[in-house]
Amino acid sequence: MLARLSTRIGILFLCAAALLTAGCGGGSKAKLRVLNAVPNQSQITVLLDGNAMFNNVAYGIANDYMSTGDGSRHIQVEPAGSTNFIIDQNINLNSGTNTTFIAADFSSTSSGIVLTDDTTAPTSGNVKIRIVNGSPNLGAVDVFIVPPGTSLNSVSPTITNLGFGSSSDYQSLVAGSYEIFFTPHGSTFAFLDTGAVSFAAEQNRTVVVLNNLSGGFQITTLTDLN
């Protein structure tokens, strides 16, 4: 009887220690990564259920996925070295899924953009590309994903009226080199022209447009698959 009691107590301690990384009970797991898109925070710390999960996440950078328990989770974001939360919200992580949490906007009005990432392979020879507007200064934009050198006056936008904090569906495109333009909605004047960007077959990518700290705008590209 004493041996059984000791075993049960040991299991309870193991479950408590594993809550942050794997959950307890069914052993369900989700994966989470965080992108720092807060223009006036060079680095952030991200807590999950009160425990620091990602430290010193630099602006414009996303950490690698980390496994964690599924279900409703409490996520908080604070400037690195501070204990003042700029984001404090609950998110739901589904078992077997990958989630991207984007800490977005300036510190005084920051909020989280929560995205479920597509980890299913594109059809043969294709790539999937998703666009996210993570720039508080950009406004609603049309997005052109076109072969390099294409005149925007000769084509229609790939994505229209993408507002701040919004993401597009994944676009299935033939793998290769593309130029991505961000223009004011209804215009062909480019706020940002990425130049040629190469995408290989069977890749899934999320392209996030951000404020450039030196002025203007920039992108960061996240690897969702391969």
Topology (CATH) of 126-225: Immunoglobulin-like (2.60.40)
Is residue 18's pLDDT more than 50?
Answer: no
Identify the pLDDT of residue 51.
97
Q: 2-117 and 126-225 share one CATH topology? A: yes
pLDDT digits (tens, 9 = 90+) for 90-115: 999 999 999 999 999 999 999 999 99
Q: pLDDT digit string (tens) for 202-220?
A: 999 999 999 999 999 999 9
**pLDDT tens digits, one per residue of 128-172:** 999 999 999 999 999 999 999 999 999 999 999 999 999 999 999
pLDDT score, position 4: 41
The three-state secondary structure class of 135 is coil
Measured between its terminal Cα atoms, the distance across the chain in Å is: 51
Q: Is residue 205 within 8 Å of 130, Cβ to Cβ?
A: yes
**pLDDT score recorded for residue 14:** 39
When pLDDT is cut at 50, 70 and 90, the band that residue 24 belongs to is: very low
pLDDT for res 138: 97
Question: What is the model's pLDDT at position 28?
Answer: 64
Domain boundaries of the chain, sorted by first residue:
2-117, 126-225
Instruction: Note the pTM of the prediction, 2 decimals.
Output: 0.88
Contact status, residue 76 vs residue 51, Cβ threshold 8 Å: no
- CATH class given for the domain over 2-117: mainly beta
Average pLDDT, whole number, for the chain?
Answer: 91
Alpha-carbon 124 to chain mean position: 25
Tens digit of pLDDT for each residue in 31-79? 999 999 999 999 999 999 999 999 999 999 999 999 999 999 999 999 9
Sheet with 51-58: strands ordered across: 51-58, 43-48, 71-79, 87-93
